[in-house]
């Protein structure tokens, strides 16, 4: 009875929604990025696809 409506959970869901998951086509690295033009953190390639 001490819940105030699940504040932290909502925040976490918002963050999940904001960042999508991508995979680099050059090095197979998977990563999350909120950017519309995600860049691979491993090889700096922009040749990535959403997964």
Q: Which residues bind Zn ion (CB under 5 A)?
A: 24, 26-27, 29, 40, 42-43, 45
CB 45 to Zn ion: min, Å: 5
| Residue 39: both structure tokens together | 């860049």
Classified as helix, coil or strand, 22 is strand
Distance CA 43, CA 46 (A): 9
Taking the complex as a whole, the smallest distance from the CB of residue 38 to Zn ion amounts, in Å, to 11
Nearest CB to Zn ion, comparing residues 17 and 36: 36
Q: Which residues contact 17 (CB under 8 A, 6 or more apart)?
A: none
Q: Which residue lies nearer to Zn ion by CB, 16 or 27?
A: 27
């Amino acid at each position: 009875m001490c819940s105030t409506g699940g504040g932290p959970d909502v925040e976490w869901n918002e963050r999940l929604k904001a960042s999508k998951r991508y995979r680099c086509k050059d090095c197979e690295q998977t990563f999350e990025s909120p950017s519309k033009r995600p860049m691979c953190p491993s090889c700096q390639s922009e040749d990535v696809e959403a997964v």
